[in-house]
């Protein structure tokens, strides 16, 4: 990278609503700064997490190639339709914490989403966003998942109780 070339904004993309919000935020920030976004999806074929019993047919579909293709499709869908800045799609096999902190060495900013698993899940699983905040080589922005606003038709008016006549 030359001195005149601006450093990109790196953003972790995992398909979650928080990561989608982080990507949208990063694109807006990149447009403001006039730089590129590196949308980084990290996949692993050795996660070893299986929920429930698998049929042989489903188990055979969990090949490295199928897992990589699934993450590639997720990344493509995440960046599809976003405009305002150049977006470079990056698909990497590895540990998300390591890949993102390594990407931060070449980035001006690292943006990650926070799924908000809760204290117990984060203690067991670890938090990619917390790791990045502690170990990244550049500033880190953590975007929390936005809670959906209630539909107007589901909001019930609050009617204050007025005291009635005393008997």
CATH code for the domain of 45 = 3.40.50.620
CA-CA-CA-CA torsion sign (75, 27, 109, 38): positive
Q: Is residue 20 part of a domain?
A: yes
Q: What is the pLDDT of residues 45-100, one digit of tens each?
A: 765 554 455 555 555 667 888 889 999 999 999 999 999 999 999 999 999 999 99
pLDDT at 32 over 60: yes
Q: Is residue 43 part of a domain?
A: yes
Q: What are phi and psi of 23, to 5 degrees?
A: -65, -45
In eight-state DSSP terms, residue 30 is H
When divided into structural domains, the chain yields a total of 1
Q: Is residue 165 part of a domain?
A: no
Q: Is residue 76 part of a domain?
A: yes
Question: Which residue segment(s) compose the domain that 117 sits in?
Answer: 9-146
pLDDT band for 146, please (50, 70, 90 cuts). Answer: low
- Residue 38 is encoded by which pair of tokens? 């590196």
| Mean pLDDT to the nearest integer, 4-15 | 90
């Amino acid at each position: 990278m030359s001195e005149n070339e601006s450093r990109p904004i790196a953003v972790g993309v995992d398909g979650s609503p928080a990561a989608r919000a982080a990507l949208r935020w990063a694109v807006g920030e990149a447009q403001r700064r006039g730089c590129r976004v590196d949308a980084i999806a990290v996949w692993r074929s050795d996660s070893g997490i299986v929920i429930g019993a698998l049929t042989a047919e489903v188990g055979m579909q969990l090949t490295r190639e199928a897992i990589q293709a699934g993450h590639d499709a997720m990344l493509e869908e995440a960046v599809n339709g976003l405009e305002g800045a150049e977006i470079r799609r990056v698909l990497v096999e590895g540990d998300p914490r390591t890949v993102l902190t390594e990407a931060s060495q070449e980035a001006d900013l690292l943006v990650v989403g926070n799924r908000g698993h809760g204290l117990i899940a984060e203690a067991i699983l670890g938090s990619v966003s917390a790791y990045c905040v502690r170990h990244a080589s550049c500033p880190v922005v953590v975007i929390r998942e936005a809670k959906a606003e209630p539909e107007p038709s589901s909001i019930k008016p609050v009617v204050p109780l007025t005291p009635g006549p005393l008997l």
